[in-house]
Amino acid sequence: MVDRSNLDKRTLTAQAMGTIDEATGAIVPPVHVSTTYLRDADNSYGKGLVYARADNPTHTHAESLLAALEEGEAACLFASGMAAATAVFQTLRPGDHVLAPRIMYWSLRDWLLNAAQAWGLLVDLVDMSDTGAVEAALRPGVTRLVWLETPANPLWTLSDIAAIAAAAHAVGARVAVDSTVATPVLSRPLALGADLVMHSATKYLNGHSDVIAGALVTAARDEAWQRIVKHRAQGGAVLGPQDAALLLRGMRTLHLRVEAASASALSLAHALERHPGLAEVLYPGLPDHPQHALARGQMPGGFGGMLSIRVKGGAAAAIATAAKVGLWKRATSLGGVESLIEHRASIEGPGTPVPDDLLRLSVGIEAWSDLLADLEAALPSG
């Protein structure tokens, strides 16, 4: 038997934890499609598996890999990132107070301000790049959760996870981090003091734009975690086994993909920084990003594959740029092997706090020089 506890995370992902199927010797984990499991003659469920809304070995396999990558106690897959994120809030109680970023992943922000508030959660949106503002917004004994997204869509501001976790814990609040953009390759929120990590596994974890999935990872199998596990089993936002298997396959190349996208995004950010057609390049890897020092400490493996550009000439110039590119695909989402470009204000609609000259770039694993040439040909000359 190989002792996996000392293995590098690259080795664990490449081999999907390295386990061999006992029944067949299969190297690739089997896909368990059964919805139900045999009860033993003594009326017990000796194998611990009952019904696939709660139990599925393909899930468990992907969950154990993700828990190992995040250095957590346990992980839980969901049918989408939104299902994972909303599970965290839905296991709170009406009257509980939560803090979330002022600018964050749009659908979750919208859900928090509508569905969650209607259900009785008290939601305050705070500038999470300002630890002092977070401290001032915490209500001792009332605030139950601080939700962070770092780097946060689509301005790529960072939150100081360690400092905010210390402040939140001091008043009895828990901290959850949407780490979709950082991925476990670049940042480890639990090691910095967070209680939960959330991923839209649709993005980098799967990495091929062909599965919608979400995940939570916990630092402890505590009472709050048990509520989340039960919520998934009863609420039923479970991932299908075929998608769980695709996700596990995608994760096998996670390190290679994230490192390639990060390196290309950094090269693109530097190349575009002084482009005369651009008003601003937003990327935590640039030395003049306001939180570059925090990024260096909190994301030691790289600054991620997401950046945004603000095009001179406003919304019309930004939309015209997106219209002219060829290699970059005009689509929402992020974290796939193919590069995407998106005018964020168009998809977020009226009321968005995102500047209307902003294009969000999800850098894939193509040659960055090709991506740069395609973009330069589309940008206004200034």
Residue 12, H or E segment? helix 9-14
Residue 4 CB neighbours (<10 A): 13
Q: Which backbone phi and psi does 258 adopt, to 5 degrees?
A: -65, -40
Q: Which stretch binds ligand PLP (CB under 6 A): 2-10, 75-83, 243-251, 278-286?
A: 75-83
Q: Please select the residue that binds ligand PLP; options are 91, 129, 202, 264, rule is CB under 6 A.
A: 202
184: β partners: none
Residue 219 CB neighbours (<10 A): 21
CB of 178 to ligand PLP, least distance (A): 5
Q: Please select the residue that binds ligand PLP; options are 203, 231, 343, 344, rule is CB under 6 A.
A: 203
CA 6 to centroid of chain Cα atoms: 26
Residue 150 CB neighbours (<10 A): 30
Establish whether 283 is a catalytic residue: no
Instruction: Give the Cα separation of 127 and 340 in Å (integer).
Output: 27
Q: Does 240 bind ligand PLP (CB under 6 A)?
A: no
Q: What is the dihedral of CA 165, 169, 172, 177, to 10 degrees?
A: 20
Q: Which backbone phi and psi does 170 adopt, to 5 degrees?
A: -65, -25
Q: Please select the residue that binds ligand PLP; options are 334, 358, 361, 363, rule is CB under 6 A.
A: 334
Q: Interface residues for ligand PLP in 145-174 (CB under 6 A)?
A: 149, 153
From 96, 105, 160, 243, the catalytic residue: 105
Q: Does 327 bind ligand PLP (CB under 6 A)?
A: no
Establish whether 204 is a catalytic residue: no
Establish whether 53 is a catalytic residue: yes
Q: Does 106 bind ligand PLP (CB under 6 A)?
A: no
From 55, 178, 195, 243, the catalytic residue: 178
CB of 223 to ligand PLP, least distance (A): 25
The contact pattern for ligand PLP, residues 79-98, with x = CB under 6 A and - = no contact, is -xxx--x-------------
Sign, CA dihedral 191-196-197-201, equals: positive
Q: Does 200 bind ligand PLP (CB under 6 A)?
A: yes
Indicate the residue among 84 and 165 with the shorter CB distance to ligand PLP: 84
Which distant-in-sequence residues (6+ apart) come within 8 Å of 225 by Cβ? 73, 74, 218
CA 263 to centroid of chain Cα atoms: 19
Q: Does 178 bind ligand PLP (CB under 6 A)?
A: yes
Token digits of residue 97: 């107070």
From 203, 232, 344, 360, the catalytic residue: 203
Establish whether 105 is a catalytic residue: yes
Residues that bind ligand PLP (CB under 6 A): 80-82, 85, 105, 108, 149, 153, 178, 180-181, 200, 202-203, 212, 214, 334
Residues annotated as catalytic are 53, 105, 178, 203
